[in-house]
Amino acid sequence: MSVQIVPDLKENMNQFEMLFSDCADIKKRKIKVGQKLERECFIAYIEVAISNVDWKDSAVGKLLQTLRELPEEELVSYVEKNVDDISDSQPFETIEDAAQGMLTGDALFFLDGYAKALKIPDKGYPGRGVYETESEKVIRGSNEGFSESIKLNTALIRKRLRSPHVKVKESFAGRRTNTNVDLVYMKDLIHPGMLEEIEKRLGEFEIDGALDSGIIEQLTEKRKYSPFPQFQTTQRPDRAAMAVLEGRIVLLSDNSPVALILPATYNTFIQTSDDYYSRWEIASFTRMLRYLASFLAMTFPGLYLAMANFHTQILPTDLLLSLAAARQGVPFPAAVEIVLMEVAFELLREAGVRLPGANGNTIGIVGGLIIGQAAVDANIVSPIVVIVVALTALCSFAVPNEEFATAFRILKFAFIFLCGSMGFFGFLIGMLGILIHLSHLESFGIPYLSPFVGADLNGYRDERDTFLRLPLDFLKKRPIYTRDGARTRLKLKHQGKDQ
Amino acid sequence: MFADNWKISLRQVRRLLILDIFGLSSLQLPGLLSSMTGADGLFSLLLGMAGGGLMLWLIQKNIQNIEGSYYQYMKDAVGQLAGDIFMMFYYLYFITLSGFVLYQAAVLALTWLLPEGSYVWVSILLLFLAGYGTIRGIEGRARVYEIIFWFLGIPLLVMLVLSLAEVHADYWAPVFYSSGLDILKGGVDYWIFLLPLTAILFLKPFCKKSEKIASCGRAALFSVTILNAAIYLILLGVFGTNTMGVLKRPIITLMSMVNLPGGFFTRQDVIMVSVWFFALFALMHTGVFQSTLILKELFHESGSRISMCISLALAFVAGMGFFANSFLAEVYGIYQKWIVLPGMAVILLAAPFAHRARLRVKREKGGEEK
């Protein structure tokens, strides 16, 4: 039941005090206004969210200053008439709504005789500002990264897409956290069905707290038991802007520097921003490398086991002999060696992530060089296994999206088991299983393996931006995510003429 | 929105059909033809293709009349009872086909990849994957084969080109040496390998441009026949008639002989077996999928889990039968030649005639009423 704000300031203050009792971080100030300083007003705000130092220069300070210059009887009518002129203020009629407004990081203003509360924005909650992104590094292109402030993040996208067609639809998630969730999209490019679908999914759950976009991602995914993510994640505003230009939707969640992009496909996870900033030959080459890396990150240790244990006839005799010589003195079967080294590597990775910056690097050196070398010297593992595990790790690092790479890291163990027990037959069974799974997987109605499958949906044009990133001249049309009739991305004014 | 509409594209149908008829035919046909017709096997291939073309023409005649599902069309054309009997005929064909191909795929895996493995476990694993693929519908199934098509096709073409160096053209002679009857028998054998093309009849409701679906069958027939002819000539040129007649799967033996430039891999047979493994799996999966579809319609099941489980169990039993008793494989050959082939011809002929007769009766009745 909401409590209505009344003209009696004391009543309002009591209700507000009751609501925020034992909240030391919330500052409540009673201030006298009017020429004779006979009328009272009440200001409430979260301690660090409102500037204390520059109080007089803030919107609240300026309002108070104005109110002190006016006669008492004109104060209410002044506030009523000028409510729209006071910065980005917003009036509330109930105590609960007003409280919610204050919790977004703004100041709340009550005036005796005025039956509303005004939310007056200020600097808001403390945030990091715009920093260089830690992941998704690029050789060419912007280095700006998203931060924890949703407003800042939307502004970073808007900065790149200065079009009135860019829409930001606001909603809230989390019963107790009331987290701001924004859907950013290009109105004339998106499939209306896609927007409806994500809004429907956002409305399908009620959780007490949505502290990060990861929670929203998991709650809105359709195939929850798949290791493959169905949202693309990014910390790069340029990547997000590029997605919006392709008719995709970017979901931003307050307090999270990770934006979700929908729909997502295998191909979009392999793409990076600088694929489009670099020349097509380089972009295509690195794209193919990444595809290969995603395959080997999952299968390389398994394939080694299949060859070393089951199908030695494939390898030339010299190589086979050197493999056998390398394994001499190692007491474990090859499968155990691989599992030992893979687990050790995953431990090193986890330790590296959890430790503070400089220590994390040290762990990499200690683990990779010292422990690896010691394990080989002590005949616990063979040097070839160290090479296999290191190459697999390199491959998993080459996959540009961390969440996507994690799927391969997990599946790698399944392949180790399958190939370790059934050789190349296990590999084929595993590949078939993965293929069937990926063929069924969809992200917001788009096949996960698109455009390798279902390419007919967009006249086979999307295939020009897969293994190869053809020259930009060839990518005149937007991908399948864009609505029909709005797929032209590039028009060449001097087509067919030498420049 | 875009997907999940139980519709597949013509490209997907084409690739599916190519894989379906390529796997088993390229694996078994060269050995069969070479012992029967020698270098004249090519004529058998052409004859078989003509038979397949005739079958596709009849399929096209049927497809023109199908508005809903094939079962519905059959019921409308020949009546409920005959429709049910015809569907049971198809069911038996597809379920025994999936059992036979399961047996072939499992034996292939056990021979070349897992010599110490258990037949039961290998076939259970394959059926589990077929079930997993079936349960999610036709779209997922079509996508699997759409994506692996070139991953299998390119290495195969490369290996075939590399093997040309081993070909002795004089092994292609003598021509016109076999009797016409042997060539005809070979042609019928190839025609039998083309029977999975009848799956087109069941695919029409799932295809986006369904009026063109028969063209996929024609494309599959031509491309597989060309590929089989090329493989046959290469195998004949490498092994000669006598040796090839003795080899069980000469194409895989050939793969073990071809040397890749650079010599990193000494033998590619283990890797190349995957081409036939995937192709056989595709055909087995087709058998399971079609039989599930037929059973579902016959028993008006709302989902497809029960029909699928029954079909998988029957395919397993059939596969076990072929594995346990090689005589059953011979019986299966006779069943295909003397029951399935003529039976299908009868069904494909009867349905359009009956449909036309019904339409005429309806038109006449309408005229009388007027």
- Residue range A365-392, pLDDT digits in tens: 777 778 888 888 888 899 999 999 999 9
Contacts of B76 (CB under 8 A, 6+ apart): B355, B358
Q: Given CA atoms A161, A162, A166, A168 in this order, what sign does their dihedral have?
A: positive
**N- to C-terminal Cα separation, chain A:** 70
The CATH code of domain B10-359 reads: 1.20.1740.10
Least confident of A221-225, A311-315, B185-189: A311-315
Q: How confident is the model at residue A495 (pLDDT cuts 50, 70, 90)?
A: low
pLDDT > 90: percent of chain B: 68
Q: Does B363 touch chain A (CB under 8 A)?
A: no
| The pLDDT value given to residue A87 | 62
- Residue entry with tokens 């006249």: A459
Least confident of A100-109, B2-11, B141-150: B2-11
Residue A396 lies in a domain: yes
**pLDDT at residue B185 tops 70:** yes
Q: If DSSP codes are grouped into helix, strand and coil, which group holds residue B201?
A: helix
A223: which chain B residues are within 8 Å (Cβ-Cβ)?
none
Domain boundary among A407, A426, A446: A446
Please tell me the distance from the alpha carbon of residue B204 to that of residue B210, in angstroms, as a whole number.
5
Q: Which burial class, exposed, middle or buried, applies to A360 when counting CB atoms under 10 A from its CB (0-12, 13-18, 19+)?
A: middle
Least confident of A25-29, A125-129, B96-100: A125-129
Least confident of A345-354, A421-430, B235-244: A345-354
Q: Does B259 touch chain A (CB under 8 A)?
A: no
Alpha helices in A20-129 (DSSP H): 59-69, 75-82, 95-103
- Quick: pLDDT tens for B259-294: 777 777 777 888 889 999 999 999 999 999 999 999
Whether residues A337 and A398 share a domain: the answer is: yes
- Residue with the bigger pLDDT between A53 and A98: it is A98
- How do the domains of chain B map onto residue ranges? 10-359
Structurally, chain A folds into a number of domains equal to 3
Residues A300-311, mean pLDDT to the nearest whole number:
93
- Quick: pLDDT tens for A399-415: 999 999 999 999 999 99
Residue A348 lies in a domain: yes
The C-alpha angle B141, B145, B149, rounded to 5 degrees, equals 175
B277: which chain A residues are within 8 Å (Cβ-Cβ)?
428
User: Over chain A, what is the mean pLDDT?
Assistant: 89
Whether residues A368 and A289 share a domain: the answer is: yes
Q: What are phi and psi of A182, to 5 degrees?
A: -110, 135
Residues A148-156, mean pLDDT to the nearest whole number:
92
Q: If DSSP codes are grouped into helix, strand and coil, which group holds residue A44?
A: strand
Whether residues A338 and A227 share a domain: the answer is: no
Q: What are phi and psi of B248, to 5 degrees?
A: -75, -45
Residue A139 lies in a domain: no
Residue B171 in tokens: 């092994």
Domain boundary among A446, A465, A488: A446
Q: How confident is the model at residue B1 (pLDDT cuts 50, 70, 90)?
A: low
Q: Does A439 touch chain B (CB under 8 A)?
A: yes
| The pLDDT value given to residue B186 | 94
Whether residues A159 and A34 share a domain: the answer is: no
Question: How many residues does the structure list for chain B?
Answer: 370
Compute the nearest-CA separation of A267 from chain B (Å): 13
Residue A71 lies in a domain: yes
- Domain assignment of residue A56, given as a range: 9-120
Whether residues A371 and A432 share a domain: the answer is: yes
Residue A234 lies in a domain: yes
Query: Are A314 and B271 within 8 A, CB to CB?
Result: yes
Q: What is the pTM of this model?
A: 0.89
Domain boundary among A208, A234, A264: A264
Whether residues A300 and A429 share a domain: the answer is: yes
Please determine, for the modelled complex, whether the ipTM score is greater than 0.95.
no
Contacts of A164 (CB under 8 A, 6+ apart): none
Q: How confident is the model at residue A51 (pLDDT cuts 50, 70, 90)?
A: low
Q: Does A457 touch chain B (CB under 8 A)?
A: yes
Whether residues A46 and A70 share a domain: the answer is: yes
A439: which chain B residues are within 8 Å (Cβ-Cβ)?
139-141, 143-144, 147
Pair A409, A389: CB distance under 8 Å: no
Q: What are phi and psi of A63, to 5 degrees?
A: -65, -45
Residues A472-496, mean pLDDT to the nearest whole number:
85
Residue B153 identity (one-letter amino acid): G
Question: Residues of B numbered 189-228 whose beta carbons fall under 8 angstroms of chain A's beta carbons: which are they?
Answer: 208
**pLDDT at residue B2 tops 60:** no
Residue A137 lies in a domain: no
- Residue with the bigger pLDDT between A251 and A493: it is A251
pLDDT > 90: percent of chain A: 54
Query: Are A456 and B10 within 8 A, CB to CB?
Result: yes
Query: Are B147 and A454 within 8 A, CB to CB?
Result: no
Q: How confident is the model at residue A268 (pLDDT cuts 50, 70, 90)?
A: very high
Closest chain A CA to residue B259: A314
Comparing C-alpha atoms, which of B145, B78, B80, B131 is closest to residue B102? B131
| The pLDDT value given to residue B271 | 86
**pLDDT at residue A498 tops 60:** no
**pLDDT at residue B325 tops 60:** yes
Residues B42-57, mean pLDDT to the nearest whole number:
96
- Residue with the bigger pLDDT between A365 and A80: it is A80
Whether residues A259 and A298 share a domain: the answer is: no
| The pLDDT value given to residue B239 | 92
Please tell me the distance from the alpha carbon of residue A198 to that of residue A446, in angstroms, as a whole number.
14
Angle, nearest 10°, between helix axes B138-163 and B250-257? Answer: 60
Element (H, E) at A233: strand A232-234
Contacts of A213 (CB under 8 A, 6+ apart): A233, A251, A252, A253, A256, A258, A259, A260
Q: How many CB pairs under 8 A join A and B?
A: 106
Pair A483, A186: CB distance under 8 Å: no
Q: If DSSP codes are grouped into helix, strand and coil, which group holds residue A452?
A: coil
Whether residues A285 and A402 share a domain: the answer is: yes
| The pLDDT value given to residue A499 | 42
Residue A275 identity (one-letter amino acid): D
Contacts of B44 (CB under 8 A, 6+ apart): B33, B36, B37, B183, B184, B185, B186, B187, B189, B190
Pair A122, A58: CB distance under 8 Å: yes
